[in-house]
Amino acid sequence: MATCLVTGGSGFLGSHLCDALLARGHRVICVDNFDTGSLANIHHLRGADFVFVHKDVTQPFFVDEAVDFVFHFASPASPIDYLRLPLHTLKVGSYGTHHALGLAKLHRARFLTASTSEVYGDPQVHPQPESYWGHVNPIGPRGVYDEAKRYAEALTMAYHRQQGVDTAIVRIFNTYGPRMRPHDGRAIPTFMRQALQDRPITVFGTGSQTRSFCYVSDLIDGIIRLAESGIHQPVNIGNPNEFTLLELAQAVIDVTGSRSEIVFEALPTDDPQVRQPDISLARELLGWEPTVELRDGLRRTLETAGTAALMGAQPA
């Protein structure tokens, strides 16, 4: 049994990671302040092998017991959240990463930080390999998230090179599945919520921009494989099957049996036109690739989460 500390463990990805680690027989310490996470995501994780610590990672935090792995997943991750919390997003990427790395150094733990495909910005190389340095607007509205993650990667590598911390960096591409927040502003939860209510599905721009969507169980499998490897370089984890947003909207309509129509709205500032991972490294170094196709994953999400959860309640 290993002891794993997960920052942001009550969030969408963090809670699924906690589930998977516990299923593998590990002890889990979940650290979160519920800025964007939810107690509902972890209420089922009760027992001697799960501990919840209510902390804001932008402040120093410590644990008394030995820790073998630190998974740093704390951060606002959707445009709605990081536009609402721009300074906090930057602080989590900087102070929060610094504190999590310090804890990993103290315990001589393996450290994995959750980076993002957003480090590639609106890419001029397609698909995006880990060797691509990106095309990011550092002062645009999305810059607070993009640059926070780019800084977190730089800080992680500095701790590895100078302090000898055993680190890993996962670059996560668009992910979906149960526990998505219906009002978080991202494409799949928004489309599913609108479709289930038979409301117009809002597609930004012409809908020709592309994304690649990975089902959450595939993503978590890749992350755990990376954590258990000796790899220090960034590794893309995502589904390389690419869809336009129009194709995604139609898939959601088909899976939900909705009567929704598709309408178009203005494209947000700095919205990437393409996004597709090159997963050659993940295949070669981890023996990993996704197995869940988009429509199957949408059905699993609908069946597991339930219609009421995906429709959500309108926030105050």
141 in the same domain as 191: no
Q: How many CB atoms lie within 10 A of CB 268?
A: 14
85 in the same domain as 30: yes
Go through the chain and tell me how many residues it has. Answer: 316
Q: What is the pLDDT, as a whole number, of residue 308?
A: 83
Total of domains in the chain: 2
CA distance 58 to 47: 27
Q: What is the pLDDT, as a whole number, of residue 268?
A: 84
pLDDT tens per residue across all 316 residues of the chain: 899 999 999 999 999 999 999 999 999 999 999 999 999 999 999 888 999 999 999 999 999 999 999 999 999 999 899 999 999 999 999 999 999 999 999 999 999 999 999 999 999 999 999 999 999 999 999 999 999 999 999 999 999 999 999 999 999 999 999 999 999 889 999 999 999 999 999 999 999 999 999 999 999 999 999 999 999 999 999 999 999 999 999 999 999 999 999 999 998 888 889 999 999 999 999 999 999 999 999 999 999 988 888 887 544 3
Q: What is the pLDDT, as a whole number, of residue 315?
A: 42
Q: What is the pLDDT, as a whole number, of residue 314?
A: 46
79 in the same domain as 9: yes
Task: Report the relative pairing of strands 242-244 and 210-212 from DSSP bridges.
Answer: antiparallel
DSSP 68-127: SEEEE--S--SHHHHHHSHHHHHHIIIIIHHHHHHHHHHHT-EEEEEEEGGGGBS-SSSS
CA distance 215 to 239: 8
Residue 153 counted as domain residue: yes
Chain centre distance of CA 186: 12
166 in the same domain as 43: yes
CA distance 29 to 7: 8
For residue 84, the cross-strand partners are none
Question: Are the C-beta atoms of 176 and 188 separated by less than 8 Å?
Answer: yes
187 in the same domain as 110: no
Using CB atoms within 10 Å of the CB of residue 262, give its burial: 0 to 12 exposed, 13 to 18 middle, 19+ buried.
middle
For residue 110, the cross-strand partners are 69
Q: What is the pLDDT, as a whole number, of residue 313?
A: 56
The residue among 55, 110, 76, 93 whose CA lies nearest residue 224 is 110
**Element at 189 (helix H, strand E):** helix 187-196
120 in the same domain as 107: yes
**Parent domain of 267:** 177-211+241-275+292-311
142 in the same domain as 31: yes
The residue among 108, 111, 98, 30 whose CA lies nearest residue 70 is 111
Residue 154 counted as domain residue: yes
CATH number, domain of 297, equals: 3.90.25.10
DSSP 207: S
117 in the same domain as 89: yes
219 in the same domain as 185: no
Residue 254 counted as domain residue: yes
Active site positions, annotated: 145
109 in the same domain as 81: yes
Q: What is the pLDDT, as a whole number, of residue 48?
A: 86
